[in-house]
Structure 1
Amino acid sequence: MIEGLEENNIMKKEINVLDYASEIMKAVEKGVLITTKVGSKVNSMTASWGTLGIEWGKPIFTIFIRENRFTKQQLEENPEFTVNIPIGEFDRKILGICGTKSGSTTDKVNELNLSLEEPESISVPGIKELPLTLECKVIYKQKQDKNAISEENLKACYPQDVDGSFHGANRDFHTAYYGEIINAYIIQ
């Protein structure tokens, strides 16, 4: 019951996610936010790896989260997330801060003064500044198999000469989280 829903003067327009597939994937290439929540702690991280598709007859957004990220800890405790996608002009500093600071030591939502919007079906909020919102529940996860990744991609995406505990290090492998898209809307 999203269409026409008004909450604190905020409208949400329900969308068919497949009608926005091109916009979503173009945004992923440049960066979107993945937002998680455990208790009262909301965290957003920038991601430029993700896929949109159909699996098991359901619309799915798959995110790839490195093993040492705070977002992974949150997803393990609460397997829900929102994908927050910009439409038009927006403050690119949002992606910069959310892509360079760890949620374990920084309250990025507070630092950026982001406007959290109540979700419809999950516990994780949307973000008004990046209004195209996918509410997702994890229905499958899988760790990457190092032996199944080409040597070229191992060297390019997983350099082993950087300490994995360093925030921003990219030597750690990913877990793929397959999120069933429960709701999709644009915050207006």
Structure 2
Amino acid sequence: MSEYAIVAPEDFDESVFRLIGKEWMLVTAKNKEGKVNTMTASWGGFGVMWGKNVAVTVLRPQRYTKEFIDQTDSFTLSFYDDTFKKDLSYLGSVSGRDEDKISKTRLTSTDANGIPYFEEAKIVLICKKLYAQPMDPAGFTEAGRELDGEWYPEKDYHVLYAAEIEQILVRQDG
């Protein structure tokens, strides 16, 4: 089992652009029946809203993991070193509706107070859901209208989730 240090959000100095945009993250939650599901994501951010340290992520309505996020108050965002890129790619391309996709990776499920993540993570953000809002295509500005056609040809707009970062765990055992 990995050893983690708890890092205060104001002391967390990793590049969100590298972590989310280049290395990707897993969004992981447990449903009411106790089943865990995860998906790979490369869109999101960290910041401050409502006087709280928050993480923002977006999920398309057809994603199975969205059903899990909608059934719970808490979820995790976790990050991995490059040796897990193939696993993250697989988890982002196969649905947990169709198979037990986690069992086909090298990841080991664990939890923090019942909130699931994976032992192999180098960084884990334990998040409490504060806000969920479907994206509205009318919100695209003139400069952003081309994004609607490029990213939403099926009109399957993401749901934006803002969550308080309750704890950041950083792996200490290499």
Q: Identify which of 2, 9, 14 aligns with 2:6.
A: 14
2:116 is equivalent to residue 132 of structure 1: no
The answer to whether the Cα contact below 8 Å between 2:87 and 2:106 also exists between their aligned partners in 1 is no
The count of residues paired between Structure 1 and Structure 2 equals: 167
Gaps of 5+ in 1: 1-8, 161-170
Q: Identify which of 50, 58, 65 aligns with 2:52.
A: 58
2:130 is equivalent to residue 146 of structure 1: no
2:21 is equivalent to residue 37 of structure 1: no
2:98 is equivalent to residue 105 of structure 1: yes
**C-alpha displacement of 1:105:** 1.5
2:160 is equivalent to residue 176 of structure 1: yes
**Secondary structure of the residue that 1:90 maps to in structure 2?**
helix
**Secondary structure of the residue that 1:25 maps to in structure 2?**
helix
| TM-score, length of structure 2 as denominator length | 0.87
Q: Identify which of 72, 77, 83 aligns with 2:71.
A: 77
Gaps of 5+ in 2: none
Which structure's relative contact order is higher, taking Cα pairs within 8 Å and 6+ residues apart?
2
Percent of residue pairs bearing the same amino acid type: 29
**Secondary structure of the residue that 1:110 maps to in structure 2?**
helix
CA gap of 1:134–1:13, structure 2 versus 1, over 3 A, is same
Letter paired with 2:147:
N
Q: 1:50-73 deviations in whole A, cap 9, x for unaligned?
A: 010011111100110101111111
2:89 is equivalent to residue 96 of structure 1: yes
**C-alpha displacement of 1:186:** 1.7
Take 2:91 and 2:82, find their aligned partners in 1: how far apart are those partners?
Answer: 17
**C-alpha displacement of 1:131:** 2.2
**Secondary structure of the residue that 2:15 maps to in structure 1?**
helix
**Secondary structure of the residue that 2:28 maps to in structure 1?**
strand
**Secondary structure of the residue that 1:178 maps to in structure 2?**
strand
**What is the aligned-residue RMSD (CA, Å)?**
1.7
**C-alpha displacement of 1:21:** 4.5
CA gap of 1:90–1:24, structure 2 versus 1, over 3 A, is farther
